[in-house]
Chain A
């Protein structure tokens, strides 16, 4: 029987993050959002970077389960249940951040009872709750021997659903025709690639953690498969990022925005080139595709770098996209006392990072509890089982 001390340590750290998240949210709500870096120009800040990161990763985290039950690959079966659990907890973490960052989180019930069906945001509420419902059913079918025969079908539905879900999340931005940074057809496929990449990186980290807590190692074949997949996914994201920038650079219309993001925008080009491209793409790809680094430790370092890159990418996309001024009267330069025509300021506050980390902590904590509750149950559940 492995010692449970590491479990409690990780759980304590995750709980601490949750507490920090709750304190931050309370601070932001009681004082009002002026204590954050967000303002009337940059209306979505670091909490949205975290929320989008978690939501997008949730869909990618289901990968291992999909590969096992949709594509029938045996190697991934040990992870099917874990990956389904992870998809739920990551999504719950992301949605919690999103809700706690609302101006009126107390009106959550309003959001659940008033729908504007023209809003992609409202559709996303269905996509998210539907996804959670589907994955719970999926888990149930994996656990219930009598239902095992449906696993493939439900798995396929969940697979399709998560592609739509990620497209839906990407569309939240892609529908903003007035904002140059988001007005791009590449955004939807890019979000799908991002979900696969971020989700796989998190799968590697979370499962290595849980397997090591249990005193066992992540099966080598599985680790090798995941690291190879991760390498491909990171390249896929880089491809879409490149296409996105090249298409914008093609027409003169977007040149000044491209100059801002890629060269002159201060923090944004820095995060793009150093964070997203160097640390988040080149370095991990080299590490993941090199046979010499194919042990667990370098794989986990590469996966963590992918996550650093993910954060930078979403920061540049979401916040950089708002910082760049909207051209209200094309052909004219604009100045006003309300920051027209100038780059919007945004200095993220600690509370925003606290709230975001709270979401990550919540995802990790509920994941740990899930594995523990089910580990008490017969057959060690997640790491094997009839469906698997």
Chain B
């Protein structure tokens, strides 16, 4: 390859074209960059406060690990059938909203088994990172995904410290009308929001009680007289990864 300097092409007639091209392109792209700003103003002007649900409640769950039996997965099955999470026999890509995890204290050897699900964090990293705002926290503390605006970027899955979210990797069958889902978007435990809104408790809580374990207590964390708050007052509870200061709505006791 030679190293001689490049020559200039002296022709001029299309100069105008080139300039017009860049002028128009510059204007076009600048508009594109400005458009989101316009949207910001629009959002700021929207009267969103009125349409928010009240925040005098905060729904939560207390897991009594002393009552939670190793090997039992009643809560998992109940969740799967309530929300139609049927799976394709591919555990790595199938959706799972609640799972049983066996723990062993590395120092003492003490063993226990706990369910892990979306912890309905008060400061949820999934909501912070979601670019479109599809991940959101209701005023009553339930963290949900708006299935209409999730783009399936999976950033929330990267951010969730509890691996609580699933991406829908393939076509779905057997969907439930009360729990709409969609291929290509992310989902996680809704705390059975459809049941809560009808004054029922989540399916996992009901299944655990019916199986005779009663390890899950559902209630309003703000209601001092309610079962959750009074139980939490009596015994020491902990949240998972307290170092992250997420103030989770799901808490654990007896470990």
Contact = CB atoms under 8 A, between A and B. Distances in A.
Interface of A: 29, 31-34, 39-41, 43-44, 78, 102-105, 107-108, 110-122, 125-126, 129-130, 132-133, 136-137, 139-140, 143-144, 172, 175-179, 208, 211-212, 214, 216-220, 223, 296, 322, 326, 328-340, 345, 374-381, 383-384
Contacts of A375: 9
Contacts of B104: 332-333
B40 interface: yes
**Residue among A33, A175, A329, A331 having the largest count of chain B Cβ atoms under 10 Å:** A329
B106 interface: yes
A112 B103 CA distance: 43
A378 B11 CA distance: 5
B163 A136 contact: no
Contact of B160 (A33, A130, A175, A178): A178
Interface string B25-65: 11001101101100110010000000000000000000000
A125 B133 CA distance: 14
Q: Which of A117, A119, A176, A218 has the most CB of B within 10 A?
A: A119
Contacts of A322: 158
A110 B129 contact: no
11 contacts: A40-B157, A102-B151, A103-B152, A121-B131, A140-B25, A144-B22, A331-B106, A331-B107, A340-B99, A376-B14, A377-B17
Contacts of A214: 6
Given A119-B131, A333-B104, A378-B13, A33 B6 contact: no
Contact of B33 (A126, A139, A331, A384): A126
A328 B99 contact: no
Contacts of B186: 103
A143 to B, nearest CB: 5
B122 to A, nearest CB: 15
A40 B92 contact: yes
A378 B17 CA distance: 10
Contacts of B7: 380
Interface in B176-232: 183-186
B101 A130 contact: no
Interface string B142-172: 0000000111111101111111011111110
A219 B103 CA distance: 64
A334 B158 contact: no
Q: Interface residues of B toward A: which range?
A: 35 or more
Contacts, number: 261
Contacts of B101: 328-329, 334-336, 338, 340
Interface of B: 1-15, 17-19, 22-23, 25-26, 29-30, 32-33, 35-36, 39-40, 43, 88, 90-96, 99-107, 116, 125, 127-134, 149-155, 157-163, 165-171, 183-186, 240-241, 243-244
A103 B184 contact: yes
B36 A104 contact: no
B171 to A, nearest CB: 6
B99 A336 contact: yes
A104 B241 contact: no
Given A178-B241, A179-B158, A217-B3, A133 B99 contact: no
In order of increasing CB-CB distance, the 10 nearest A-B pairs are: A103-B152, A103-B184, A178-B161, A140-B22, A32-B170, A39-B92, A34-B169, A121-B131, A220-B3, A116-B133
A39 B22 contact: no
Contacts of A44: 154, 158
A378 B153 contact: no
Given A114-B132, A129-B32, A136-B26, A336 B40 contact: no
Contacts of A103: 150-154, 167-168, 183-186
B167 A136 contact: no
A175 B183 CA distance: 27
